[in-house]
């Protein structure tokens, strides 16, 4: 990989020009997985809850019970439209929670689900979503073991919202977390980015980009198991959903107090996604994904881990896109195609509302 640190760049001296934000009401950006979401958690939820275990502030909390280490996660899915190329809200609800549990290195075992249904939703639609969830769970080898259903008045919902929670077992000796990145670690993505967000946007807005862009929604726990079996040295795993790759790299850089440097030429962005983002003025690094993971891996384990990823159906597009540095802690920098350096900032809110 090329040296991604520009000799004249000093990212530690750069700052974001955005003003401080002071909202009296919730805005869509508070749910976008970016800076506004982080502020909501830090300034509203944590004080109200009396603080929280840092392990519970990420995709899944790892807790000990009965001598076992369990990964526990919950997430809500409010995507609009409910059906999109490559999947639907049911697939997202199952795959998303499986992936959150898997990003702790755990083997997902059980899921719960809760439906909030708006009066008037056709039963045929609800049935298709439920069947998709059942099939996705069976194929992933997890069990849907409990759930709940509520119906709200017509006009007081948006068709259907789904919440899932998941529990998985963390194998002995596996310790993965967003605060474990170390200088020298390689930054790896498992495949191309941006397809899910563009797939949803194309259907919702009736846009055509010359080809059908399908969501990448998929379970990643099998890929994670293959990576962990190939070599030790996997320090961090995250799936870049809301906020995309940009939010994920910034969160890890901040949690681990390290700098991250990536080479833009190495980041796999499909041509159709790049074209759509260029047309719409979007940053593909901030577009959501539902079947991609980011890994921070010790240099001694990189070849074995990348090889195992490329041998797995969900990791055939795996690529090393950057490295961790002890310079500019908390900052993500990217070397552009023409050799310049730019900051990859944490997105403020949501580029594409209601995509997860």
The per-residue pLDDT for 10 is: 52
pLDDT digits (tens, 9 = 90+) for 69-83: 999 999 999 999 999
DSSP sequence for 163-222? EEEEEEEPPTT----TT---TTPEEEESS--SHHHHHHHHHHHT---SSPPPP-----HH
* Sign of the CA dihedral with 109 first, then 52, 49, and 330 last: negative
The per-residue pLDDT for 205 is: 79
CA 83 → CA 65, 210, 340, distances in Å?
Answer: 38, 20, 40
Is residue 76 a contact partner of residue 141, using CB atoms and an 8 Å limit?
no
pLDDT over threshold 80, residue 348: no
pLDDT band at 55 (very low <50, low <70, confident <90, very high): low
Beta strand 294-297 with 234-238 is antiparallel
The DSSP 8-state label assigned to residue 312 in this structure reads S
The per-residue pLDDT for 219 is: 98
**CA dist., res. 96 & res. 73, Å (int):** 10
pLDDT digits (tens, 9 = 90+) for 123-158: 999 999 999 999 999 999 999 999 999 999 999 989
pLDDT digits (tens, 9 = 90+) for 232-289: 999 999 999 989 999 999 999 999 999 999 999 999 999 999 999 988 889 999 999 9
pLDDT band at 15 (very low <50, low <70, confident <90, very high): very low
pTM of this prediction exceeds 0.85: yes
The per-residue pLDDT for 56 is: 56
CA R_g for the chain: 20
pLDDT digits (tens, 9 = 90+) for 328-339: 999 999 999 899
């Amino acid at each position: 990989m090329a040296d991604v640190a520009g000799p004249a760049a000093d990212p530690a001296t750069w700052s974001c020009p955005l003003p401080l934000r002071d909202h009296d009401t919730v805005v869509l950006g508070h749910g976008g997985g970016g800076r506004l979401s982080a502020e909501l958690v830090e300034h509203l939820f944590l004080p109200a809850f009396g603080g929280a275990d840092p392990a519970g502030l990420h995709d899944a909390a790892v807790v000990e019970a009965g001598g076992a280490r369990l990964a526990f996660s919950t997430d809500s899915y409010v995507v609009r439209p409910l059906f999109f190329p490559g999947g639907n809200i049911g697939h997202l609800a199952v795959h998303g929670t499986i992936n959150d549990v898997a990003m702790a290195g755990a083997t997902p075992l059980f899921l719960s689900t809760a439906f909030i249904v708006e009066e008037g939703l056709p039963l045929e639609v609800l049935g298709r979503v439920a069947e998709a969830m059942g099939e996705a769970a069976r194929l992933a080898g997890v069990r849907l073991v409990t759930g709940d259903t509520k119906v709200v008045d017509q006009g007081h919902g948006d068709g259907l919202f789904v919440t899932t929670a998941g529990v998985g077992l963390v194998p002995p000796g596996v310790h993965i977390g967003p605060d474990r990145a170390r200088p020298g670690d390689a930054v790896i993505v498992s495949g191309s980015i941006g397809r899910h967000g563009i797939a949803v946007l194309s259907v919702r807005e009736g846009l055509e980009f010359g080809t059908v862009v399908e969501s990448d929604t998929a379970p990643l726990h099998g890929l994670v198991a293959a990576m962990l079996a190939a070599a030790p040295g996997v320090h961090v795993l995250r799936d870049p959903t809301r906020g995309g790759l940009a939010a994920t790299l910034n969160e890890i850089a901040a949690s681990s107090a390290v700098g991250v440097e990536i080479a833009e030429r190495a980041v796999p962005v499909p041509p159709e996604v790049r074209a759509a983002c260029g047309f719409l003025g979007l940053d593909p690094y901030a577009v959501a994904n539902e079947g991609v993971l980011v890994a921070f891996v010790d240099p001694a384990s990189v070849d074995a881990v990348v090889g195992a990823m490329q041998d797995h159906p969900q990791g055939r597009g795996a690529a090393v896109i950057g490295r961790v540095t002890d310079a500019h802690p908390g900052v993500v920098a990217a070397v552009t195609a023409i050799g310049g350096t730019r900051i990859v900032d944490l997105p403020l809110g949501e580029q594409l509302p209601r995509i997860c």
